[in-house]
Amino acid sequence: MSTPKSILHGGYHHPLSRSWQAERSVTKDMLMYPIFITDDPEAMVPLEALPEQYRIGINRLEAFLAPLVKKGLKSVIIFGVPLKEGVKDPEGSKAEDPQGPTIEAVKLIRHAFPNVFVACDVCLCEYTSHGHCGILRDDGTLNNDLSIERIKNVAVAYAKAGAHCVAPSDMMDGRIGAIKQGLMDSGYAHKVMLISYAAKFAGAFYGPFREAANSAPSFGDRRCYQLPANGRGLARRAVLRDMEEGADAIMVKPGTPYLDILRETADLAKDYPIAVYQVSGEYSMLYQAAKAGVFDLKAAVLETMTGFTRAGATLVLTYYTPRLLDWLDEE
């Protein structure tokens, strides 16, 4: 039996009344596009595991981004992918190479597209010979102190090159405090945003990225530094710690399998921007499912975006950004 209060349909019959249900809706401003920059200046290499994404050389970058900026692209996050022989070593020394792909890309984008917000992922795994995100001890475990010292120096170098934002994804303990201190000591803390990948979970969904970035560990895995999938309490502790250490925003990663964590993080860090990373495995899964006829790609991706905003995200890192710039115009 219906009662006056049990009738919900009337409240969302019209498209406009449906739009009023959201606390927040998906806009172009909240998209940050992850791009892979490699050290062959002429490269434009399609990534098999990440369809429609590329490893891009510095000489091709402006032409690649120009049409996207025209459509409303507001921000990118850069991943450097050095592929030349002999670049990698145990300390990841080349991460802040002034002639390396990341720093060159920051400078180019700042110059060519003054209105684009430029973030850099900060990690060592693309530059270390062993493929781990920090510096190792002789027994193969992490040397956290040496790692955060290196990672701080890399972050400061990216800030000096002109990055608006640094986002360490390495998951070392104390990196946020170390980087914030490094930015303060070098005079960049007032103008460089520090996004913490605080709630970053280990798992299967990073597979395509590691192919794209050539950053798979040569032995072992990342389970001793990235969070265990069942680690809700650890995620809360990491979020609280990183706020305490001076993060300016908090990220949850991956996205869809961790929507509960995203909601909890948004509640826990309610005075902070909340980012979510729809990672490479999520991207490819949606892409391949649509290709197999499971659903319409646009409808499915927009639904994941709605899920992210509903769960509390204010910023979404997604490889679907180029598509979304079109799709959001069609809405």
The answer to the question of residue 155 lying near ligand PBG (CB under 6 A) is no
Of residues 202, 180, 200, the one with CA closest to residue 192:
180
C-alpha 39/C-alpha 185 separation (Å) is 30
Q: What is the DSSP string of 267-279?
A: HHTTTS-EEEEE-
The answer to the question of residue 284 lying near ligand PBG (CB under 6 A) is no
Q: Which of 47, 133, 192, 276 binds Zn ion (CB under 5 A)?
A: 133
Respond yes or no: is residue 200 known to be catalytic. yes
Respond yes or no: is residue 253 known to be catalytic. yes
Give the interface segment with ligand PBG, choosing from 25-33, 97-105, 117-125, 231-239 (CB under 6 A).
117-125
Of residues 25, 127, 24, 38, the one with CA closest to residue 78:
38
The answer to the question of residue 198 lying near ligand PBG (CB under 6 A) is no
The answer to the question of residue 155 lying near Zn ion (CB under 5 A) is no
Give the interface segment with ligand PBG, choosing from 181-189, 206-214, 264-272, 322-330 (CB under 6 A).
206-214
The answer to the question of residue 161 lying near ligand PBG (CB under 6 A) is no
Structure tokens at 163: 């990055």
The answer to the question of residue 123 lying near Zn ion (CB under 5 A) is yes
Q: What is the DSSP string of 236-263?
A: HHHHHHHHHHT-SEEEEESSGGGHHHHH
Torsion 98-104-107-111 (CA) sign: positive
Report the residue number, 117 or 225, with the smaller CB distance to ligand PBG. 225
Structure tokens at 99: 């002639």
The answer to the question of residue 324 lying near ligand PBG (CB under 6 A) is no
Q: Which residues of this chain interact with ligand PBG, rule CB under 6 A?
A: 121, 123, 125, 133, 169-170, 206, 209-210, 222, 279-280
Catalytic annotation, residues: 200, 253
